[in-house]
Amino acid sequence: MLGPIKNHLVLSSSELFYLLLPIVSAAYLFLFRRNTIDKDFIKNILIRITTYFIFVIFIHIYLSSIMQGKVIWKEVIVYLYFFSSVSIILFLMRASFKKIAESISKKIIDLRFQKIVYLTVAAFLWTFILLPYILATFTIHRPKIGDKYDPETLFMFKYEKVSLKTQDGLHLKGWFIPKKNSNKAVVIGHGLGANKSNFLSLVELWEALNYNVLIFDFRGHGESGGHTISFGYKEKYDIRSAFDYLNKEKKFLAENIVGYGVSFGGASLIQAVNDGAGFDKMITDSSFASIDTMADKVVERMGFVPVFLRESIKDLGLAYVNLELGFNIDNSSPIRISDKIKIPWLIIHGKKDVLIPSQEAISLYGQGSANKQLYLVDKGEHYTTIDDVQYIYQIRKFLNQ
């Protein structure tokens, strides 16, 4: 019985921390602060948990509706637990901030300035400690959304449910869509925060190109294991497990396997190819080149943050991310390794992309190998061009070279 359970309990260090924090906190209260546990305390805890539960359900329902997915109820419970862990940290931060602000303000003799100093210190601590933490935590730990559609219900494509295991022990869920009389296959990597069903239009595209298709949920997404996102640094293992499945289980020759990744999926594909995944060719659409640029865009979209504070908040947020992941997230920047990619590579990007500027594609193209091709879509935004005839033509031309 324990074998299958152990296979699914592969936790990152930050996941283990968030798992243990409520348990340790409860043990501390029971052992050392039992006298503070009364009816009002229990009532307050129950109210908080109920509030968190309602909020977490709302978030999952909202995301499911805008992403055309469905709520995974076990993930609601997991995220509620995670949210409770975060609330403990926020409570401790708030209590610490209050004590620090009070101790500093009390040193001011003039009572008129005490409150001003208190509010100033509190605002500083909240802005430069709390806000970056929240930004970092909810960027790399996202709610998982389930599949609303599958290849058969949407396109009448027969498919097989696939289970992949990565080299670091995570289990991933995917779909294999066979194409009769074809010896070619493609691995599709989806975008950040999405799932495999959100990119079924790509299955239709590649089926029309006469390819067998393997599309899967990255770690921390959809039905796959894990709850931590590393922007390609560990997702490269997910791509490699998909390649190995096609190569070893389905017996496709490496020279007949293509990699295709969108945005975050493209960055993960670049990392995987550099790490040894033996694709014959690869295509990236709307991929970022630099983690720093991605972070700039995240903070930029926080309109309430003054412009002069954004750089500092970004740097502190990245520091929190590095702390949680246990490595420098900038190592996930594809620009660091793009000159090492030797296989044929088609880089696609929309000129009107406001999420990831097309300059990112130009930067990737400008590094290294002569095997790269760049296709900038004049009217293209962030991955919105697959129905365009020219888009399909460029892919077909690249594949036939």
**What are the DSSP calls for 350-395, one per residue?**
ETT-SSS-THHHHHHHTSS-TTEEEEEETT--SS--TT-HHHHHHH
Q: Cα–Cα distance between 65 and 60 in angstroms, integer? A: 9
Find residue 236's DSSP bridge partners.
none
Assess whether pLDDT exceeds 90 at residue 398: yes
Closest CA to 232 of 213, 200, 259, 202: 259
Phi and psi of 111, rounded to 5°? -60, -25
For the record, the structure tokens of 186 come out as: 């493609």
Mean pLDDT for all residues in the chain:
90
**Per-residue pLDDT at 101:** 80
Q: What percent of the chain has pLDDT over 70?
A: 96
Give Cα 8 to chain centroid, integer Å.
19
| Residue owning tokens 């194409």 | 179
Highest mean pLDDT among 97-106, 120-129, 173-182, 293-302: 173-182
The amino acid at 165: K
Assess whether pLDDT exceeds 60 at residue 1: no
**Per-residue pLDDT at 122:** 82
For the record, the structure tokens of 151 come out as: 């290849």
Assess whether pLDDT exceeds 80 at residue 21: yes
Closest CA to 141 of 271, 321, 292, 322: 321
**CATH 3.40.50.1820 location in the chain:** 146-290+333-400
Q: Which of 103-112, 115-124, 385-394 comes out lowest in average pLDDT?
A: 103-112
Q: Cα–Cα distance between 185 and 174 in angstroms, integer? A: 14
CATH class of 146-290+333-400: alpha beta
Q: What percent of the chain has pLDDT over 90?
A: 68
Q: Quick one: pLDDT band at residue 354, thresholds 50, 70, 90?
A: confident
Give Cα 5 to chain centroid, integer Å.
24
Phi and psi of 155, rounded to 5°? -125, 5
The predicted-structure confidence for 143-157, as pLDDT tens digits, reads as follows 999 999 999 999 999
Assess whether pLDDT exceeds 50 at residue 158: yes
